[in-house]
Amino acid sequence: MDRESELAIVRRAYAKQVMAAAGVADRRIEAAFAAVRREAFLGPGPWPIVRWGRGYMTTPSGDPVYLYADVLVGIIPERDLNNGLPSFLAALIASGGPCAGEHAVHIGAGIGYYTAIIAHLVGRAGRVTAIEYDPVLADRLAANFAGQRHVRVLEGDGARAEFATADVIFVNAGATRPADSWLDRLTEGGRLILPLTTDKGFHGSETIPLDRRGAVFRIARSGDEFRARWISPVAIFPCEGARDPASEAVLAAAFANGRWKEVTRLYRRGDLPEEQCWLRAPGWCLAYR
């Protein structure tokens, strides 16, 4: 058997393990993880892999088999900027539910491995806009999708970049508030996958439990209403352009109060009664009803 056929079998086993770890049963997403070659995006190995409690450890060789595990792979280890955990991203992608033919926007695309998974799900009839803030990574991202006309790569701040209305927007970095453009540009029925993190939500103190440092919310548009629900705790690289000290303070206070799982609505106004809100900030709220 040739090496590519061997790796295709390894990837099928990896995809099954990722889905099990994510608690997701979705054959389309499993097929996407089985199809996309992680090494094609990360470049040649050996690769730095996060081994819990031991920091980054370099793989023994450049054999791609080391990438097909539920592991974080360093992209810029000096900045703790990693290719995210497959099971975590699988769960977020499942929550966003990109369908064939849809327009997906991926903010914080890095070098594009998960962009490619999303692109696989929307297919050739759909399209992906991938936005990356770091210019060096944005160059690598553009090179990784050269010639693929259904993936458009933009360098810049995803909170300010121009993009067409989207059926699903995946933010892959920690914000303290939703950018207006993310809410404005959701289609009817569109979904926004939004990690909200406190300043302890990346290099956080271990004394604060993970679920009090950050959370991913799913926001779905229905007319002028936005339904919201908690998906998971998160610690993630900060989102430049979607963080400010005032909204961080409100977020930190909300996490200290608990009850994030009771959130059902996002409102684009800040004048709701306090007892209705998990988080009440100038111009927006996450509320219980």
Binding residues vs ligand SAM (CB under 6 A):
81, 83-84, 107-111, 113-114, 131-134, 137, 157-159, 172-173, 236-237, 239-242
Round to whole Å and give the CA distance between 243 and 40.
32
Closer residue to ligand SAM in complex, CB, 114/267 = 114
Closer residue to ligand SAM in complex, CB, 142/272 = 142
Closer residue to ligand SAM in complex, CB, 113/284 = 113
Closer residue to ligand SAM in complex, CB, 75/254 = 75
Closer residue to ligand SAM in complex, CB, 19/90 = 90
Q: And the tokens for 11?
A: 């990837």
- 246, amino acid identity: A
Closer residue to ligand SAM in complex, CB, 102/134 = 134
Closer residue to ligand SAM in complex, CB, 111/266 = 111
Query: Residue 226 CB, nearest distance to ligand SAM (Å)?
Result: 21
Query: Residue 218 CB, nearest distance to ligand SAM (Å)?
Result: 18
Query: Residue 250 CB, nearest distance to ligand SAM (Å)?
Result: 20
Query: Residue 179 CB, nearest distance to ligand SAM (Å)?
Result: 8
Query: Residue 265 CB, nearest distance to ligand SAM (Å)?
Result: 25
> DSSP letters of the chain?
--HHHHHHHHHHHHHHHHHHHHT---HHHHHHHHHS-HHHHH-SS--EEEETTTEEEE-SSS-GGGGSSS--EEEEGGGTEEEPPHHHHHHHHHHH---TT-EEEEES-TTSHHHHHHHHHHTTTSEEEEEESSHHHHHHHHHHTTT-TTEEEEES-TTT-----EEEEEE-SBBSS--HHHHHTEEEEEEEEEEEE-TTSSS--TTS-GGGTEEEEEEEEETTEEEEEEEEE----B-TTS--HHHHHHHHHHHHH--GGG--EEES-S-S-GGGEEEEETTEEEE--
Query: Residue 213 CB, nearest distance to ligand SAM (Å)?
Result: 15
Query: Residue 181 CB, nearest distance to ligand SAM (Å)?
Result: 11
